[in-house]
Amino acid sequence: MSELLRVEDLSIAFGNNQVLKGLSFEVNENEVLGIIGPNGAGKTVLLNILTGILKPDSGRIIYQGEDIAKTKIVERTYMGIGRTFQVPRSFEGMSVYENVMIGGVCGRQMTEKEAGAGADKILAQINMADKRDLLAGTLGLLDRKRLEIGVALASKPRLLLIDEAAGGLTESEVVSIIDIVRGAKEQGVTIIWIEHVLQTMIEGTDRTLCVAEGRNVICGNPRDVMDSPEVHAVYLGTEEDYADEGAGADNDIAKTGTAQALPPQDKTLLEISGLNVLHGDLQAIHDVSMRIERGHIVSIIGANGAGKSTLLNTVMGIHNPAGGTIVFEGDDITGKRTSAIAEKGLAMTPEGSRVFADMTVTENLLMGAYLPAAKKAKTEQLEKVFEMFPVLKEKSEQLASFLSGGQRQMLSIARAIMMNPKVVICDEISLGLAPVVIQDIYAKLKELNEQGLTFILVEQEIKRSLRHSDYSYVMVKGRIVLEGKSSELSRSDVSDAYFGINRFA
């Protein structure tokens, strides 16, 4: 087999954030290469570089023996590089048939007649011949995902890049996607397939590459890769990573003691029951129930797309649930406005910290005390926060854009604390940070927790979550598949639930 694409030492940074750090791999003619990796590994960035949407800072892309780094987006399409998007970008005002025609007419300069004949063949191949004349805007998620592949195939690609074709689909739907990809391979197409649904890697790819933090971790036979300690370490963390983060077990016992002294009705701070959330056609949360106790650190663990962020956003009133209730301190807050929910004492640090980059650190913190009740106490609260985070005091007059990733995360937490909340919800606070920095942040959380603050942590890394929390929930595809006291959950239980090994062993 000859080589079709070789990526050498690819690097790209966005500001402070080095997303790809010397990624290298190669794909052979007519091979299906799967790429897996946790959130933030740089997978979609890689596809954007391969299609010319982003320019790498360094590294080479050799396609059919030529360096294509300088070619434009459309030129790469003409060269035979096609792609699908993670969130389908069908042309909604055009029929399914016209969508597929675009691939031939624009991507391969065919006449409308040639493209039309080709489109009908492709519609049969993606099982959408019966939906030929429907507007793409009326299609459901599975059909849109299939159409994405169809439009890409219509431009007769030699190399097809698939960005998460199976995300959000049911298992039988995933099977139909795998069939379509296999069909494309049989026609001689070479495929790079990025996916979080790990089942597709084993059934649909010839070779799997695991990427983490912008580097290749391991590459080889899909099943071997999935079972390898390296991949488990990427998703779950290794013992060594956490050796010096301090044991949490002692504290846990002490804390559970104080919590048990309270009467039971006061113990529960937040109760979620039977929650269902829909994103258009896709059910992101299925019948989720949770109880968060006062003074606890509760972690929610799950892979990308498990519905963790959706769950948090629903609690904060950003999404409206289709069913179920959320009760905070005895009050039903389901479907309330976000500002009203925040006023009750729920604060959130969003994924990626989202500090106000063009405001100073102090201004950022004052934004946290925006609600009337918090505004009154803002001076004292500011002092308290500066005491807790000396580094922020040091930089108080600097613009937030000058802070490092870890400092931004600290600022995000401090900003949440400015409103004197009862619960702080942290969405992936360790994402993209160096281990030393993560230790600092978790040490701060522990300190705050000891002062009585309740935390809900959302994490992808199992080991870290278990170590730092009192109680854990594991989510897979929008459902809670496992829960229990963090000290009692074993890593293997969680990893089985997480990788869903049993489902396709």
Q: Considering the complex, what minimum distance in angstroms separates the CB of residue 94 from other proteins?
A: 5
Q: Give the residue with the Cβ less far from other proteins, 254 or 322.
A: 322
Q: Give the residue with the Cβ less far from other proteins, 100 or 306.
A: 100
Q: Give the residue with the Cβ less far from other proteins, 85 or 471.
A: 85
Distance from the Cα of residue 486 to its chain's centroid: 23
Strand blocks (E) in 15-163 = 17-28, 32-36, 58-63, 66-67, 81-83, 159-163
Q: Considering the complex, what minimum distance in angstroms separates the CB of residue 76 from other proteins?
A: 9
Q: Give the residue with the Cβ less far from other proteins, 51 or 360.
A: 51
Q: Considering the complex, what minimum distance in angstroms separates the CB of residue 390 from other proteins?
A: 43
DSSP H or E segment with residue 215: strand 215-220
The single-letter code of the amino acid at 294 is R
Strands 190-194 and 32-36: parallel
- Tokens matching residue 465: 């979550």
List of residues contacting other proteins (CB under 8 A): 51, 53, 73-74, 77-78, 83, 85, 89-95, 97-98, 101-103, 105-109, 111-112, 116, 133-135, 138, 140, 151, 155, 276, 278, 322-324
- Tokens matching residue 150: 């169809």
Long-range contacts for 434-439 (Cβ within 8 Å, ≥24 apart)?
Answer: 434/406, 435/241, 437/404, 437/405, 437/406, 437/409, 438/406, 438/464, 439/244, 439/245
Report the 10 Å Cβ neighbour count for 174: 22
Q: Considering the complex, what minimum distance in angstroms separates the CB of residue 290 from other proteins?
A: 17
Q: Give the residue with the Cβ less far from other proteins, 72 or 485.
A: 72
Q: Considering the complex, what minimum distance in angstroms separates the CB of residue 271 from other proteins?
A: 18
Q: Considering the complex, what minimum distance in angstroms separates the CB of residue 303 from other proteins?
A: 24
Q: Are the CB atoms for 475 and 292 separated by under 8 Å?
A: no
Q: Considering the complex, what minimum distance in angstroms separates the CB of residue 204 from other proteins?
A: 22
Q: Give the residue with the Cβ less far from other proteins, 116 or 345.
A: 116
Q: Give the residue with the Cβ less far from other proteins, 283 or 439.
A: 283
- Tokens matching residue 41: 């590994």
Q: Distance between CA atoms of 306 and 284, rounded to whole angstroms?
A: 8
Q: Considering the complex, what minimum distance in angstroms separates the CB of residue 97 from other proteins?
A: 7
Q: Give the residue with the Cβ less far from other proteins, 273 or 487.
A: 273
Q: Distance between CA atoms of 423 and 54, rounded to whole angstroms?
A: 39
Q: Considering the complex, what minimum distance in angstroms separates the CB of residue 412 from other proteins?
A: 30
Q: Give the residue with the Cβ less far from other proteins, 73 or 443.
A: 73
99 Cβ contact partners less than 8 Å away, ≥ 6 residues apart:
90, 91, 136, 147, 150, 151
Tell me the CB-side half-sphere exposure of residue 97, using CA atoms within 13 A.
Answer: 12
Backbone torsions φ then ψ of 274, nearest 5 degrees: 55, 40
Backbone torsions φ then ψ of 420, nearest 5 degrees: 50, 60
